[in-house]
Amino acid sequence: MNLNNLKKIHLIGCGGSGVSAVARMMLKLGRQVSGSDLFRSDITDSLQALGADIVIGHDVNKLSPKTDLVIYSAAVPPDDQELSQAKKLDLEILSYAEFLGLLSTGKKTIAVCGTNGKTTTSAMCGKILAELGLDPTVIIGSELKNFQGNYRAGQSKYFVLEADEYKANMLKIKPWSILLTSIEEDHLDFYQNLSDIIRHFQLFVDQLPADGWMFYNADDRNIIKLKLPARALSCSLRRPADYWLKCFQKNPGCYRFTAMHLSENLGQFTVTIPGEYNVLNALLVIALCHKLKLDLNKARRAVENFGGLRRRFEVLGPMKQAQDVLVASDYTHHPSAIAKTLQAAKDFYPNRRLFLVYQPHQHDRTKKLFEQFLTCFVKADLTILQEIYDVPGRQYAEDKTVSSKNLVEAINQPNMIYSPDAVASKKLILNHLKPQDLLLIMGAGDIDRLARELV
């Protein structure tokens, strides 16, 4: 497909983090863009402000024989009205992942993959490579202030993107190099079990070309089960590896460490976003910069200055009703990532009580990872568990037997409170706040709206 021949593009699910980046790309290229989403959001508003014709809900009249391409998000069900209309009109239709696959062909595509950490790592990678002069095209799953969105138009052969494991979509990407952050049980509405997940990641890793590199988290017990390619380079926080760190210091507001390549000292680096996992993410990017023979002094400054990613421990500011309370919003929704994010909050804000409001994402995930959810909240001083967010297009009647209330009852601790919805959560927050709290609003669903209402 030649992008230069496309004049009119329609996007279904344009409010999503990935498809909205495609909308920005097409608008920047001067194409006529229309789109739809079930819910109005800051993203749909921003696309309209850029010139896209957006409808909230469905409008099959947006499609016509003159529509050159229809792209739909992974959340769109097969019986979607607009998707059905596009098929009736015999239009060119691609999923978001298929479109990324086409874009990645013939480029030096740096694919960031893994169960957790893809968005932060790809954003960090894209921003740092841009600052070091490589001028990459970047598509990420959240909005970065430096890019003024989730898309950066580059003119070089380098292309940084997230290779999403949902429905094995990463297999549609043509990587030149791979950054692999983690492998865990997730998306069990598609994968059979952990072994099946590992098998699919193996298929992706096997696509690494002879001139590319793979940088992987050597501390991950599932990644090391893979048959790794010859040009796979290990990165570790815990032990000597191809790339590792020493002199690690954990301070309120930052982490400092010396990056090592085997026995070579690459210099001291500072990470100013919470979480030891983000130190590992930074090490993956530092390793890539080293292999690309980029200026590590500039990389050092770029790593330290990285921040501002929407809904990735995004500090929104003081709460309106209590100015000494700090409000943050985070997208985390996997049990292991929740535990790590809560520890990160303790690392960066050791003198604040940690007040968590969490909305589980998808009944299927909550049901199948129920036992893991029982132990992931222990670092929070007080937790409100809001009712589970139903993901459009991924609802299964048999999964409705599980509720956040079941989690609260199973955990059976006085610092765990059930909330049926956001209205109740807001009242509970106001009733339980204490001075100097860190109020962390967490989840991949619509709970972010509550966080923004409070500041």
pLDDT above 80 for 204: yes
pTM over 0.85: yes
What's the mean pLDDT when you consider all of the chain?
94
> Could you tell me the strand order of the sheet in which 93-95 lies?
53-56, 32-37, 8-12, 69-72, 93-95
Higher-pLDDT residue of 285 and 393 is: 285
Q: Structural domain boundaries of the chain?
A: 3-95, 105-304, 314-453
391 or 195, higher pLDDT: 195
Q: Is the pLDDT of residue 193 over 80?
A: yes
In sequence order, the 6+-apart residues with CB closer than 8 A to the CB of 204 are 113, 163, 170, 171, 173, 175, 178
Class of domain 105-304: alpha beta
350-371: average pLDDT? 93
String of DSSP letters for 385-418: EEPPBPPTT---GGGGG--HHHHHHHH--TTEEE
pLDDT in tens, 138-155: 999 888 877 878 999 999
Options 3.90.190.20, 3.40.50.720, 3.30.1600.10, 3.90.79.10; which CATH number does 314-453 get?
3.90.190.20
What's residue 184's pLDDT?
Answer: 93
Does 19 score more than 90 pLDDT?
A: yes
Q: What is the mean pLDDT of the segment spanning 192-206?
A: 97
Band (pLDDT 50/70/90 cuts) for residue 400 is confident
3-95: what CATH class?
alpha beta
The pLDDT, as a whole number, for residue 3 is 79
DSSP 283: H
CA atoms within a 13 Å half-sphere pointing along the CA-CB vector of 454: 32
Helices (H), ranges, 143-212: 194-205
Calculate mean pLDDT across residues 247-254. 92
Which range, of 2-6, 51-55, 319-323, averages the lowest pLDDT? 2-6
